[in-house]
Amino acid sequence: MTILVCGSMAYDTIMVFPERFRDHILAEQLHILNVAFLVPTLRREFGGTAGNIAYNLKLLGEDPCIMATVGHDFEPYARRLAGLGIAAGHLRRLDDEFTAQAFITTDIEDNQITAFHPGAMSHAHLNAIGDVNEVALAIVSPDGRQGMVEHARDLSAAGIPYVFDPGQGLPMFSGNELMEMMRGARALAVNDYEARVVEQKTGRSVAELARAVEAVVVTRGGEGSQVLAGGRLEHVPAVKPDALVDPTGCGDAYRAGLLYGIARGWDWRKSARLASVMGSIKIAHRGGQNHAPAREEIARRFAASFGEEL
């Protein structure tokens, strides 16, 4: 069984501002905003939604297949994927583009300001769902606009269940487009801010959206997550992490846990519980792919947190 991960592959340049953004932004001067943040800490990480989700699925013992477009500078990432044993057969390299790049500044309250250069990601539509064999489950995560539309459409047409994760791509779509992309999805996965954006764009509440798909999963950071499915609202508590270090990639780790559960026919609550465990493991490490627990350790944490077996 193949879990197909459609989304971005990116390099993340992550900077830490050791103060609070809000102390340096004057609300009455937003019309002429001009601020500079001194960031003494900087590092470059492997990232992108597809890369992060696939990495976490691999930690869980899955063999995910990534579908993405990358640039001429992708070789270091390609070597990493090979070392991890993650299939790269559906990564299309474009020699006249850069791999997508995110420049993320995080303050001490875990607020983030991000600048993103899409590069090769904008050509995600060059990849076709029909090129991958034996796909049993997929996720459509932030990617090039046309690519997201076509991948959702083609997964739906092929009868392949998928999770729709619009994330940072939300500004690119109208309400009607979002509804169309949800039409064949099993679930919509968003954070609490994104949920409000989807509601505003579609004119439908989360409860109404949950009637258009099998489930709507809304993450709320330290407050845990909510699953609306079958007319019921289920609250899943956040798992206490070893430390609060870096939120980058936590949502992707959560989605990997969700996909793992869906692939095994778990109910939504159990799947979201594993997702919560994955997010808590990630947040204790910097970057989206520097946590490396053995599968046995993930299983131990799952059992300790919720009394369930992996």
pLDDT at 161 over 70: yes
Q: Which CATH number goes with the domain that contains 152? A: 3.40.1190.20
Distance between CA 130 and CA 272 in Å, rounded? 29
Distance between CA 136 and CA 145 in Å, rounded? 24
Distance between CA 267 and CA 283 in Å, rounded? 25
Average pLDDT taken over every residue of the chain: 95
Query: Residue 246 domain-assigned?
Result: yes
Over residues 189-213, the mean pLDDT reads 97
Q: What is the pLDDT, as a whole number, of residue 185?
A: 97
Q: What is the pLDDT, as a whole number, of residue 29?
A: 72
Q: How many residues are present in the chain?
A: 310
pLDDT at 1 over 70: no
pLDDT at 292 over 80: yes
Query: Residue 296 domain-assigned?
Result: yes
* Tens-place pLDDT, residues 178-195: 999 999 999 999 999 999
* Tens-place pLDDT, residues 111-123: 888 888 999 999 9
Over residues 277-305, the mean pLDDT reads 97
Query: Residue 33 domain-assigned?
Result: no
Distance between CA 3 and CA 6 in Å, rounded? 10
* Tens-place pLDDT, residues 222-263: 999 999 999 999 999 999 999 998 888 999 999 999 999 999
Over residues 155-163, the mean pLDDT reads 97
Q: What is the pLDDT, as a whole number, of residue 177?
A: 98
Query: Residue 31 domain-assigned?
Result: no
No. of helices (H) and no. of strands (E), the chain: 9, 13
Over residues 101-108, the mean pLDDT reads 89
Query: Residue 142 domain-assigned?
Result: yes
DSSP characters for 153-203?
HHHHHHT--EEE--GGGGGG--HHHHHHHHTT-SEEEEEHHHHHHHHHHHT
pTM, 2 dp: 0.92
Distance between CA 60 and CA 41 in Å, rounded? 31
Q: What is the pLDDT, as a whole number, of residue 226?
A: 97
- Would you say 17 and 150 are in contact if contact means Cβ atoms under 8 Å apart? no
Query: Residue 52 domain-assigned?
Result: yes
Distance between CA 58 and CA 51 in Å, rounded? 11
Beta strands in the chain (DSSP E): 2-6, 10-16, 41-47, 65-71, 91-94, 100-106, 112-117, 135-140, 162-164, 187-191, 215-219, 225-229, 232-236
Q: Which two tokens stand for residue 64?
A: 């995910």
Q: What is the pLDDT, as a whole number, of residue 281?
A: 98
Of 98-107, 203-212, 297-306, the one with minimum mean pLDDT is: 98-107
Specify the number of domains making up the chain: 1
| β 225-229/232-236 pair status | antiparallel
Give the contacts of 288 (CB within 8 A, at least 6 positions apart).
12, 45, 46, 47, 51, 52, 55, 248, 249, 252, 253, 282
The CA-CA-CA angle for residues 61, 66, 67, to 5°, reads 160
pLDDT at 53 over 80: yes
* Tens-place pLDDT, residues 9-42: 999 998 989 999 988 887 777 778 888 899 998 9
Domain region containing 273: 2-25+38-306
Query: Residue 32 domain-assigned?
Result: no
Whole-number percent of the chain with pLDDT over 70: 100
Residue 66 vs residues 21, 141, 157, 243: alpha-carbon distances, Å: 35, 11, 20, 30
Over residues 143-150, the mean pLDDT reads 98
5: left (phi over 0), alpha (psi -120 to 50) or beta: beta
Query: Residue 136 domain-assigned?
Result: yes
